[in-house]
Amino acid sequence: MLSIWQTYQGDILSGLKVTLLASLTALVFSLIIGTVMAILQVSKNKWVKRLGDSYVNLFRNLPLLIVVMFFFVVMPLYGFKLDGVTAGTIGLTLYTSAFIADTVRAGIEGVPKGQMEAGIASGLNYRQVMVYIVLPQAFKIVIPPLGNQFINLVKNSSILAMVTGADLMYQGDLVASTTFNTIGTYTLIGLIYLLLTLPLSYFMKYLEIKLASN
């Protein structure tokens, strides 16, 4: 395993950079899209609510690979050619945002309804109450499951390897096929994924304890 690292360090680090970039991009945009969809899901307008529910149900019930392949294989047929990294990141974002939406929705519904009523009574509009009063409390409630979604996102970023995304997993596949040392290669790649996900896991636990004490 050490010899693999010494020989293919450049390729592995290159793949790691792609994985980090795709994961961070997908994390930011999936959180934004997921939060918006969660707000739509709790709307009193039935058509708006139906839009949010339809989005979540669509991407939650499709395999991630299908979503990614749609952008990598189908979209080019209609003139929208995307490279593996872009297609993988978009698919990962949309897929993860559906799970984040459900998580944030549960958090919003966990906030006492009196908070919304009190905010409206104080002169704030619906958007202001949602942004400044409800959402902060909702995120505080759902820190643990939200953290799990972030960790899953990092692990799911390995899907880029299926669309030649040149990510960490893709580089690992190339190294394994070159050296025929599959055990050493995938053990090394697995350890690197652990180095990415374990700190995130500990940080989310720390954040949960920190918020609970406030």
Spell out the domain ranges in the chain: 1-213
> What confidence score (pLDDT) does residue 214 get?
64
Walking along the chain (214 residues) 10 residues at a time, the average pLDDT comes out as 80 93 95 95 92 95 95 92 93 96 93 82 84 88 88 93 89 90 91 92 82 68
CATH of 1-213, one of 1.10.3720.10, 1.20.1250.20, 1.20.120.640, 2.60.120.10: 1.10.3720.10
Query: How many Cα atoms sit within 13 Å of 19 on the Cβ side?
Result: 27
One-letter amino acid identity for 159?
I
Cα–Cα distance measured from residue 149 to residue 14, given in angstroms and rounded to the nearest whole number: 25
Helix H, strand E, coil C: the string for the chain is CHHHHHHHHHHHHHHHHHHHHHHHHHHHHHHHHHHHHHHHHCCCCHHHHHHHHHHHHHHHCCCHHHHHHHHHHHHHHHCCCCCHHHHHHHHHHHHHHHHHHHHHHHHHHHCCHHHHHHHHHCCCCHHHHHHHHHHHHHHHHCHHHHHHHHHHHHHHHHHHHHHCCCCHHHHHHHHHHHHCCHHHHHHHHHHHHHHHHHHHHHHHHHHHHHHHHC
What distances in angstroms separate CA 138 from CA 8, 105, 111, one per listed residue?
45, 8, 6
Q: For residue 35, what pLDDT is reported?
A: 95
Alpha-carbon gap, residue 152 to 150, rounded angstroms: 5
| pTM score of the predicted model | 0.90
Report the pLDDT value the prediction gives residue 73, as an integer from 0 to 100.
94
Q: Among residues 55, 34, 57, 52, which one has the least CA distance to residue 42?
A: 52
